[in-house]
Amino acid sequence: MKFVRYGAQGAEKPGLVDATGAIRDLSGHISDLSGASIDPDALAKLASVDPASLPLVSSDERLGACVAGTGKFICIGLNYSDHAAETGATVPPEPIIFMKATSAISGPNDDLLIPRGSEKTDWEVELGIVIGRKAKYVSEAEALDYVAGYCTIHDVSERAFQTERSGQWTKGKSCDTFGPTGPWLVTKDEVPDPQDLRLWLKVNGETMQDGTTKTMVYGVAYLVSYLSQFMSLQPGDIISTGTPPGVGMGMKPPRYLKPGDVIELGIDGLGSQRQTARADA
């Protein structure tokens, strides 16, 4: 199943994507896509709901982030062997973990704000894992039992803030709108192999990234298990799993986003995003 959240920012409602691609209002069954409602068993029960019985939602409605109540937005760095090579970095012996502020989360088609003082705002399409139930000290074999589903993530990065301003990566990853999420939360049954998904990203119609999750160094199940050894993972937490090659900083010469640029990105089966970059006020 594919779930969405639609409506004005801060007032989104839950929705279901029917077989025709239309959105149906789910607010008569759940209050939002958060907490207990995204437990894998709870999502499975919604399969018994006849989409035709749900109110149709206008196609003009704004789409919000596909999950609410995110407490942690956890990112994995240098998790594609071919991306590490393009940046001249060595593949790490254990996953690189950093946090993106939850205030960076935005809808998949909202404007992307280039922050004040930015000269190196960069793009990164990534597979997102949405946690559906509390996970703590889980094994790799059981890790997927704790996953609600998957989504498309744009892990926008300001490279100068990230690597040239001292300290940790977080401040280069957490600017407002630097975490477009969705459009869909896609349940696990529709993603039989998360390690066989194509990811792509275009800027102004030009393909920049065209990769596959096959080249991830640390796979989905491993990452959920690994992270759960250090912190409990809670329903609504997002894990952004790294990006394939083709980012702006890896180009010769490097290329970065500027106001007016249009960024389109997506993952096979998980939906696409479209943002227009503009300068933050």
For residue 151, what pLDDT is reported? 98
Cis-peptide into 253, omega within 30 deg: yes
Query: Residues 65, 7, 268, CA angle at the centre, nearest 5°?
Result: 40
Q: Is pLDDT at 69 greater than 80 in this prediction? A: yes
For residue 132, what pLDDT is reported? 98
Give which of 6, 262, 174 is closest to 16, Cα–Cα: 6
pLDDT, one tens digit per residue, over 81-132 is 877 777 777 778 999 999 999 999 999 999 999 999 999 999 999 999 999 9
| Segment 218-237 mean pLDDT | 98
Q: Is pLDDT at 179 greater than 90 in this prediction? A: yes
| Segment 191-212 mean pLDDT | 97
DSSP helix/strand/coil, 60: coil
For residue 87, what pLDDT is reported? 73
Asked if 122 contacts 158 with a C-beta cutoff of 8 angstroms, the reply is yes
Amino acid at 219: G
CA–CA distance, 240 with 264 (Å, rounded to integer): 18
- What architecture does CATH give domain 67-279? Alpha-Beta Complex (3.90)
For residue 88, what pLDDT is reported? 73
Local confidence band at 167 (pLDDT 50, 70, 90 cut-offs): confident
Cis-peptide into 183, omega within 30 deg: yes
Asked if 224 contacts 189 with a C-beta cutoff of 8 angstroms, the reply is no
% of the chain residues with pLDDT over 90: 92
pLDDT, one tens digit per residue, over 13-54 is 999 999 999 999 999 999 999 999 999 999 999 999 999 999
Local confidence band at 176 (pLDDT 50, 70, 90 cut-offs): very high
For residue 92, what pLDDT is reported? 83
Q: What is the residue-averaged pLDDT of the chain? A: 96
CA–CA distance, 85 with 81 (Å, rounded to integer): 6
Amino acid at 254: P
E strands in the chain: 2-6, 13-17, 23-25, 73-77, 96-99, 105-106, 112-114, 121-122, 125-131, 147-154, 157-158, 179-180, 185-187, 198-203, 206-212, 238-240, 262-267, 271-279
| Segment 198-219 mean pLDDT | 97
The tokens describing 52, both together, are 């035709």
Q: What does residue 272 show for φ and ψ, rounded to 5 degrees?
A: -120, 165
For residue 123, what pLDDT is reported? 98
CA–CA distance, 63 with 59 (Å, rounded to integer): 10
> What is the reported pTM?
0.96
